[in-house]
């Protein structure tokens, strides 16, 4: 039966399968293997750490095939990548199916070069070779550049450089020259594109980009590197086409106005933007407000400012009254919660911890009585903050959300798989707390129960967003990623993307109607 399915059917079917299930199918028969393998090799996510998929919806981000890494060791990742390269080398059929390669940060350069050497000969369908690249592979990228729809200009170094080598910019220009501009829909660049294009690719036509990733870094170029006046963003990119904009600032000093230095206000012209991500900036509420007013079609908004800056109430109101409140499907930001967290630190002459029971469901009561009051705050004096080292241990919410996050890192949970940097982070938090308190009292289950109680404490905050943004599918408030689900009578609630097992929402009320009133 499976053997007789048409190719299009397999394509459709694969959307409902995890990677493990697709791999399992390759063992069914040679015909099934022939049908599913092209899908397995189409989009390759080259991770150097184990990937973690959502447990509430394992199909999220399942368009990728990731390297099956189980240990946090570089050698292990290298070994898996070597196996992939060998497979692609030995099978022109499999490599002919590769369309997209996504590279993560610390991949071995020699292996990347080997991979490109195979792809340049055996991957006629390769369209994107993306993300974190290095100048060491520019010559290899040039060979594959003519067929690509993405142009990733590697940064001069992993970190901003004190002095950029004089050869760097001309080498980038030579890479750009190999690209087919009419094909390019995505650009990743680590400097002001206006300065780069006016000086190093002035002959380039206006790019019809759908996706722009801009990293703003304080690399020191030689003084005469950019003699010609810069182009504006709309000189370089056609304003009608850009849909996704990601800007990451590497500047750690607040005294540099990155918004001004990189002319970011020019980007407000790109009014067809559907996805906006601002990362590691010092907040500028004025700029954000202008973005909200300029981008009425936003579907995805991700804001992660320096120092955990929270979006103020006025800006949230503006967003909820903007046309984008109807189009937004994915919202990821930080704001002041409407109820205090389960554990907070009250500052004052004598700082102390406070337990706030905003939800009184049996699960939250169990957490307060049997974990917080018994294991963390067992005496009156344990509520007093005795020193800075006391805070990360007893302020358990900050511990599991920001200090030792128990959820993996991912920019958008539905697009990219999460990456975890340690094994079983919830277990690691339990063991850290056991060490800090000098007794073996915390179990992994305690940590998960605290996480669930934390979600319950966000009930009103979640409700605020669900009411104002009716088409949200994903909501990540203060680093708690959730999907939006519909419960009884169409009531909406938030389901954690990770650690969802055993989670029962406190956002849905039991409905009593004529039929079940006396049942
Ligand atoms: Zn509760």
Interval 109-130: pLDDT, tens = 999 999 999 999 999 999 999 9
CB atoms within 10 A of CB 460: 13
The residue among 413, 392, 397 whose CA lies nearest residue 52 is 413
pLDDT tens digits along 389-407: 888 899 999 999 999 999 9
Q: Is the pLDDT of residue 1 over 80?
A: no
High-pLDDT (> 90) share of the chain, %: 85
Centre of ligand 1 to C-alpha 84, Å, is 46
Residue where the block lists tokens 């991912």? 410
Q: Is the pLDDT of residue 253 over 90?
A: no
What per-residue confidence (pLDDT) applies to 52? 93
pLDDT tens digits along 313-369: 999 999 999 999 999 999 999 999 999 999 999 988 889 999 999 999 999 999 999
Centre of ligand 1 to C-alpha 342, Å, is 10
Instruction: Decide: 128 and 150 in contact? Cβ < 8 Å.
Output: yes
Centre of ligand 1 to C-alpha 435, Å, is 28
Q: How confident is the model at residue 512 (pLDDT cuts 50, 70, 90)?
A: low
Centre of ligand 1 to C-alpha 454, Å, is 8
Distance separating alpha carbons of residues 124 and 131, to the nearest angstrom = 20
Centre of ligand 1 to C-alpha 467, Å, is 20
Query: How does DSSP assign 132-188, residue by residue?
Result: S--GGGHHHHHHHGGG-SEEE---SSSS--SS--TTHHHHHHHHHHHS-TTT--EEE
Q: How confident is the model at residue 6 (pLDDT cuts 50, 70, 90)?
A: confident
Q: Is the pLDDT of residue 132 over 90?
A: no
Tokens describing residue 445? 């289950």
Q: HSE of 190 in the Cβ direction (CA atoms, 13 Å)?
A: 26
Centre of ligand 1 to C-alpha 506, Å, is 6
Centre of ligand 1 to C-alpha 448, Å, is 13
Centre of ligand 1 to C-alpha 457, Å, is 7
- Sheet with strand 244-249: strands edge to edge: 150-152, 186-189, 211-216, 244-249, 275-279, 300-304, 330-333, 474-477, 480-486, 492-496
Instruction: Judge whether 323 lies within some domain.
Output: no
Instruction: Judge whether 124 lies within some domain.
Output: no
Tokens describing residue 439? 């007794």
Residue where the block lists tokens 């339990």? 430
Instruction: Judge whether 435 lies within some domain.
Output: yes
Query: What is the extent of the structural domain holding 405?
Result: 343-454
pLDDT tens digits along 44-86: 999 988 999 999 999 999 999 999 988 878 888 899 999 999 9
Instruction: Judge whether 57 lies within some domain.
Output: no
What per-residue confidence (pLDDT) applies to 515? 61
pTM of the model: 0.94
In the 8-state DSSP scheme, what is residue 506? Answer: S
In the 8-state DSSP scheme, what is residue 369? Answer: I
Query: How does DSSP assign 240-309, residue by residue?
Result: TT--EEEEEE----TTS-HHHHTTGGGGGG-TT--EEEEESPPP-HHHHHHHHHH-TT-SEEEEE-GGGP
Q: Which residues surround ligand 1, an ion (CB under 5 A)?
A: 359, 361, 364, 456, 506
Range from 2-6, 361-365, 375-379 carrying the lowest mean pLDDT: 2-6
Centre of ligand 1 to C-alpha 291, Å, is 36
Instruction: Judge whether 203 lies within some domain.
Output: no
**Contacts of 380-389 spanning 24+ positions with Cβ under 8 A:** 382/353, 383/352, 383/353, 383/354, 384/350, 384/351, 384/352, 384/353, 385/345, 385/350, 385/351, 385/352, 385/353
Centre of ligand 1 to C-alpha 262, Å, is 46
Q: Is the pLDDT of residue 197 over 90?
A: yes
| DSSP three-state, residue 493 | strand
What per-residue confidence (pLDDT) applies to 76? 87
Backbone angle region of 329, left / alpha / beta, with phi > 0 → left and psi within -120 to 50 → alpha: alpha
Instruction: Decide: 26 and 72 in contact? Cβ < 8 Å.
Output: no
Centre of ligand 1 to C-alpha 358, Å, is 8
Backbone angle region of 424, left / alpha / beta, with phi > 0 → left and psi within -120 to 50 → alpha: left
Centre of ligand 1 to C-alpha 204, Å, is 58
What values do phi and psi take at 203, rounded to 5?
-85, -5
Centre of ligand 1 to C-alpha 449, Å, is 10
What values do phi and psi take at 186, rounded to 5?
-140, 135
Q: How confident is the model at residue 449 (pLDDT cuts 50, 70, 90)?
A: very high
What per-residue confidence (pLDDT) applies to 7? 76
Task: Report the domain count for the chain.
Answer: 1
Centre of ligand 1 to C-alpha 439, Å, is 27
What per-residue confidence (pLDDT) applies to 519? 53
Residues 6 or more apart in contact with residue 200 via CB below 8 angstroms: 169, 170, 172, 173, 176
pLDDT tens digits along 451-495: 999 999 999 999 999 999 999 999 999 999 999 999 888 999 999
In this prediction, residues 297-304 reach a mean pLDDT of: 98
Q: How confident is the model at residue 514 (pLDDT cuts 50, 70, 90)?
A: low
Instruction: Decide: 298 and 273 in contact? Cβ < 8 Å.
Output: yes
Q: How confident is the model at residue 516 (pLDDT cuts 50, 70, 90)?
A: low
What per-residue confidence (pLDDT) applies to 73? 81
Instruction: Judge whether 401 lies within some domain.
Output: yes
Share the mean pLDDT of the chain: 94
Q: Is the pLDDT of residue 266 over 80?
A: yes
Q: Is the pLDDT of residue 265 over 80?
A: yes
Centre of ligand 1 to C-alpha 325, Å, is 29
Q: Is the pLDDT of residue 161 over 90?
A: no
Centre of ligand 1 to C-alpha 335, Å, is 21
Centre of ligand 1 to C-alpha 363, Å, is 6
Instruction: Judge whether 290 lies within some domain.
Output: no
Centre of ligand 1 to C-alpha 154, Å, is 48
Centre of ligand 1 to C-alpha 364, Å, is 4
Q: How confident is the model at residue 517 (pLDDT cuts 50, 70, 90)?
A: low
Centre of ligand 1 to C-alpha 28, Å, is 46
Instruction: Judge whether 358 lies within some domain.
Output: yes
Centre of ligand 1 to C-alpha 488, Å, is 18
């Amino acid at each position: 039966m499976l053997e007789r399915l048409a190719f299009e059917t397999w394509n459709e079917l694969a959307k409902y399968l995890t990677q493990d299930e697709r791999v399992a199918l390759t063992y069914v028969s040679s015909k099934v293997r022939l049908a599913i393998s092209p899908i397995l090799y189409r989009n390759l996510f080259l991770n150097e750490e184990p990937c973690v998929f959502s447990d509430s919806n394992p199909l999220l981000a399942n368009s990728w095939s990731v390297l099956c890494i189980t240990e946090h060791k570089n050698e292990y990742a290298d070994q898996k990548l070597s196996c992939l390269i060998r497979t692609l080398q030995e099978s022109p059929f499999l490599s002919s199916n590769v369309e997209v390669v996504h590279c993560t940060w610390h991949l071995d350069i020699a292996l990347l070069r080997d991979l490109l050497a195979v792809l340049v000969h055996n991957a006629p369908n390769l369209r994107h070779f993306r993300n974190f690249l290095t100048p060491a592979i520019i010559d290899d990228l040039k060979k594959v550049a003519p067929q690509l729809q993405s142009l990733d200009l590697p940064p001069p170094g992993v970190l901003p450089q004190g002095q950029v080598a004089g050869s760097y910019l001309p080498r980038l220009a030579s890479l750009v020259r190999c690209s087919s501009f009419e094909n390019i829909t995505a650009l990743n660049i680590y400097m002001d594109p206006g300065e780069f294009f006016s000086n190093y690719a002035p002959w380039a036509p206006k790019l019809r980009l759908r996706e722009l990733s801009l990293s703003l870094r304080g690399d020191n170029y030689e003084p005469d590197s950019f003699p010609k006046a810069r182009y504006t963003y709309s000189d370089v990119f056609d304003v009608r086409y850009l849909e996704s904009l990601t800007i990451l600032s590497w500047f750690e000093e607040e005294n540099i106005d990155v918004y001004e230095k990189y002319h970011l206000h020019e980007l407000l012209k790109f009014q067809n933007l559907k996805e906006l991500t601002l990362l590691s900036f010092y907040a500028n509420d004025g700029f954000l407000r202008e973005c909200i007013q300029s981008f009425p079609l936003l579907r995805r908004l991700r804001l992660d400012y320096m120092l955990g800056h929270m979006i103020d109430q006025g800006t949230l109101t503006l967003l909820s009254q903007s046309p984008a409140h109807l189009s937004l499907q994915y919202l990821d930001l930080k704001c002041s919660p409407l109820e205090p967290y389960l554990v907070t630190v009250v500052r004052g002459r004598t700082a102390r911890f406070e337990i706030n029971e905003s939800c009184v469901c049996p699960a939250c009561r169990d957490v307060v009585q049997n974990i917080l009051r018994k294991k963390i705050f067992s005496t009156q004096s344990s509520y007093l903050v005795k020193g800075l080292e006391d805070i990360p241990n007893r302020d358990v919410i900050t511990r599991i959300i920001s200090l030792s996050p128990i959820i993996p890192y991912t920019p958008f949970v539905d697009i990219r798989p999460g990456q975890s940097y340690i094994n079983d982070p919830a277990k690691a938090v339990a063991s850290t707390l056991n060490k800090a308190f000098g007794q073996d009292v915390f179990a992994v289950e305690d940590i998960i129960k605290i996480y669930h109680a934390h979600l319950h404490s966000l009930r009103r905050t979640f409700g605020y967003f669900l009411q104002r943004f009716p088409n949200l599918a994903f909501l990540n408030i203060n680093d708690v990623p959730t999907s939006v689900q519909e419960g009884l009578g169409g009531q909406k609630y938030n389901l954690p993307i990770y650690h969802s097992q055993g989670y029962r929402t406190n956002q849905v009320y039991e409905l009593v109607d004529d039929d079940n009133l006396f049942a």
